[in-house]
Every structure is written in C-alpha cells, then in structure tokens.
Amino acid sequence: MTENPAVLAVVVKGWPRLSETFIAQELAALEASGHSFEIWSLRFPTDKKRHPLHDAIRAQVRYLPEYLHQEPVRAFRAWLRCRSLPGYKEAHRIWWHDFKRDKTRNRIRRFGQACVMASEAPSRTEAFYAHFLHTPSSVARYTAIMLGRPWGFSAHAKDIWTSPEWEIREKLADNATGATFGVTCTAFGAEHLQQLSAAPDRVELLYHGLDLERFPSPPERSIHSEGPFRVLSVGRMVEKKGFDRLIPALAALPEDLDWQWEHIGGGPLKEALQKLARQHRVQDRIIWRGTCDQPEVISAMRSSDLFALPSRIATDGDRDGLPNVLMEAASQLLPILSTPVSAIPEFITNGEHGILVNDNPSELSAAIAELAGNPEKRLSLATAAFSRLKSEFGMQRGIDQLCRRIESMINGSLT
C-alpha cells in the first residue's frame, strides 16, 4: 500500500491512554484503510502500561505544551508567529468571546496550545480531526480558523453531557468556524447533538464497534463451574461507573453464595471504594488489579463468570455512552449485568443480551444472586450478545463511514 502524505492532524487529550482503546482501534483502522495522519496530544501519557494496539500505530506523535508555563518560550514564539496568520484575528475574536463566558486557565491554555499547533503544523496539513467535543475540539477549532482549514470531531460521553450548551451550538454552527462534520458513538448522543446543531446532517451516528480480529475466539463456557462465583468489572474508579453501588450490592448477597469480585482500572475514587469495602467487610473477597493492558483484561474476562458495570449519571451530568468494555465482554461470552443508562440499551436488550437493572444496591444484588444460580441463563444471554456483536457492532462499517467523512473534509479544502 502506498501511503498518502499526512494531511490530517488528529487531536487527542492524551496519548496513549489505556482507558481509550476505542481511539487506538479507530486510528489503527484508519491507517489500515490508507489514511496517513499525525497525532497531536494535549497531554503527556500518565499510564505506566500501554496496549499492544498502541505500538501498531505508525503515526508520528507530537506533544503540545501540557501547561503553558512549562514551555513559555515555545508558547510565546508560537503566538508571535500566529499573529501573521490570515485567520488569527478571527480565531482570537472567537476565543475572547468564549473566554468571557468561561474565565478559566483551561480556556487560556486551549488558545496557547492552538497557537503552538498552528505554528508547528506541517504545511501539508489540510484538516483537523479531534477526539472529544470539549477541550480537544476547542484546540482544533482555534487552530483550524487560524490556518483557514476545516475541522471535524468525534464526540463520546462526558464531552457531550458536561459541555455548556452555548459552546456545543457554536462548534456545530453552520458557518466557516463550525465543524465540517461530527460523529458520535451512540444514537442517544447523536440525537442530542443534532437538536443543538443548525445543520443536523453534519452530525452522524457512528458506533465504534469492535475489531474481532484482535480478540481470541471466546472460551468454551460450561454451566458447571467450580470455585467462587467470579464477578469482574473494568472501568475507572469514578462516580459514573457506579462501583460505590456495586460494593454494598455484593455485601448483601446470600451468605451461602461463595463469590469474588475483581476490579480492573485506576481512578480518583480508589481509596474511597476500598474504604467502603472495609466498611461492608468484604475486602477479603475483592481483588484490586489496578490498570491493566488489553491482553490482561481479556484474560480476566475469560476466567470470570459475570461482567458487572452499574453505570449511572454522575452529579455533574457525566455519564457513559456505550462502553466498549461491554462489547469486549460479549466477545468472550461473558454474561453482562449493567444499567439502562444512556446508550447501553442500544447494545444490551434487557433479558435478551444481558440484564439491565437500576443502579440501587438491592436490585443489583438480586440480579447477581439470580444469575449466579442460573448458569443456563448466563450462557443464553452471553450467546445472544456475542451474536449481536458480530452481526451489528463490527468495526468496519463505522470506519467506512468515518473515512468518507474525512475524505470529503480534506477534498473540500483542496478544491
């Protein structure tokens, strides 16, 4: 395959990130489809591990100043160079209008990072594509305006539900400063963004799906298992994941049920959750694995009996979209217990592909107990979810959609 010159700049929050395998999967697929791009990261990596998929991506990675005061000379020189760009005045005007409504250091940092990217982007860069509608899209938008280039975005979950409405509307404006296109990974999110857009046809539903070629065939699941009933959860220790509801639910399980919970992921609520486990006297039944790479996650899924993700809406409005980890669990015939939040029902129909209950501990506990005592039902649910994953949530369909959008954006800028 002959590679095209890297005319696309992909803007991400941080690279690489263990919790954002969906981005790595997409970028690897874009490269396989013949697209050449550079990755511009707003932050340096913090995870000690990385997925093998990250190493498969050949794109050059460029890091913007994470904080402007850490690279003041670079930021100042970039600003001086940008002042002569044809779109600088318009970008500054828009940024200033944004800043008056969001007087934060983060908003200042966004403009400084945009100046650095605009001044350092190779001349062949013809378009910008940002993952997440909040900070990365702001940086991509300011940069694109300075350079007179188009930009697009992929929105996910927190960025949709915690961004102010005025900012979303302006990023979706039907004019030269708005996004050329936007994709998002849930019908729930797509409908919301389309309602806020002056050009709804610019926003498109695009499921991430799963590249099943990267996963082993599911293990042979038996209805006869030995040892404790093994519950697995994978997700950051944050409010929207609902693990503070799952721990008391586990503690309320029948005394004669031998169970074990394994958690994979890091996050700011680690100490609070471990304290909660001690308060409920279940700490000896819990394995805290911390952050793991994808092969370790898949191995844990293959040896577990139930996947539990009690997602809920956080107090600040943050919520999951359609967590890829649910599809990963389905790929290994691991039955799923979750909640009917956001787009989860777009993949899991309650009672058919998994069990969806409210996130209160009593309902979670009852569902776990029922599934623990009914291995035939677990296998039936897991089989149905795996079948739906293969037939409706493959990766390639979404990648083909995205390629068309990106190619149209780039070609439009060249005509």
Query: Tens digits of per-residue pLDDT, 300-332?
Result: 999 999 999 999 999 999 888 899 999 999 999
Which residue in the block uniquely carries the two structure tokens 């940024």? Answer: 95
pLDDT given for residue 4 in this prediction: 57
How would you write the chain as a 3-class SS string? CCCCCCCEEEEEEECCCCCCHHHHHHHHHHHHCCCCEEEEEEECCCCCCCCHHHHHCCCCEEECCCCHHHCHHHHHHHHHHHCCCCCHHHHHHHHHHHHHHCCCHHHHHHHHHHHHHHHHCCCCCCEEEEECCCHHHHHHHHHHHHHCCCEEEEECCHHHHHCCHHHHHHHCCCCCCCCCEEEECCHHHHHHHHHHCCCHHHEEECCCCECHHHCCCCCCCCCCCCCCEEEEEECCCCHHHCHHHHHHHHHCCCCCCCEEEEEECCCCCHHHHHHHHHHCCCHHHEEEEECCCHHHHHHHHHCCCEEEECCCCCCCCCCCCCCHHHHHHHHCCCCEEECCCCCHHHHCCECCCEEECCCCHHHHHHHHHHHHCCHHHHHHHHHHHHHHHHHHCECHHHHHHHHHHHHHHHHHHHC
Give the pLDDT confidence of 134-167 residue by residue, as tens digits: 999 999 999 999 999 999 999 998 899 999 999 9
Angle at CA of residue 215, ends 214 and 219, nearest 5°: 165
Number of Cβ within 10 Å of residue 335's Cβ equals 27
Ordered structural domains, the chain, with CATH: 8-208+395-414 (3.40.50.2000), 213-392 (3.40.50.2000)
Which residue in the block uniquely carries the two structure tokens 């799906």? Answer: 209
Percent of the chain with pLDDT over 70: 98
| Average pLDDT of span 30-36 | 92
Give the pLDDT confidence of 280-296 residue by residue, as tens digits: 999 999 999 999 999 99
Contact between residue 31 and residue 60 where contact means Cβ atoms under 8 Å apart:
no
Which residue in the block uniquely carries the two structure tokens 């609520």? Answer: 269
Joined tokens for residue 2: 């002959």
Among 270, 259, 245, which residue's Cα sits nearest to residue 338? 245
Write the single-letter amino acid at 170: E
Mean pLDDT of the residues in the chain: 94
pLDDT given for residue 157 in this prediction: 85
Determine the Cα–Cα distance for residues 157 and 188; give it in Å rounded to an integer.
10
Sheet (strand 259-264) strand order: 286-290, 259-264, 229-234, 306-309, 336-338, 355-356
Determine the Cα–Cα distance for residues 384 and 41; give it in Å rounded to an integer.
39
**Whole-structure pTM value:** 0.84
Which residue in the block uniquely carries the two structure tokens 């006869």? Answer: 224
Give the pLDDT confidence of 90-136 residue by residue, as tens digits: 999 999 999 999 999 999 999 999 999 999 999 999 999 999 999 99
| Average pLDDT of span 345-350 | 96
Please determine, for residue 2, whether its predicted confidence score (pLDDT) is greater than 50: no
pLDDT given for residue 70 in this prediction: 96
pLDDT given for residue 415 in this prediction: 38
| Average pLDDT of span 46-74 | 92
Determine the Cα–Cα distance for residues 389 and 227; give it in Å rounded to an integer.
29
pLDDT given for residue 225 in this prediction: 74
Strand partners, 259: 229
Among 317, 336, 311, which residue's Cα sits nearest to residue 389? 336
> What are the distances in angstroms from CA 140 to CA 42, 67, 405?
11, 17, 17
Determine the Cα–Cα distance for residues 145 and 95; give it in Å rounded to an integer.
11
Give the pLDDT confidence of 371-382 residue by residue, as tens digits: 999 999 999 999
CA 288 to chain centre: 22
Most confident region among 2-6, 33-37, 241-245 by mean pLDDT: 241-245
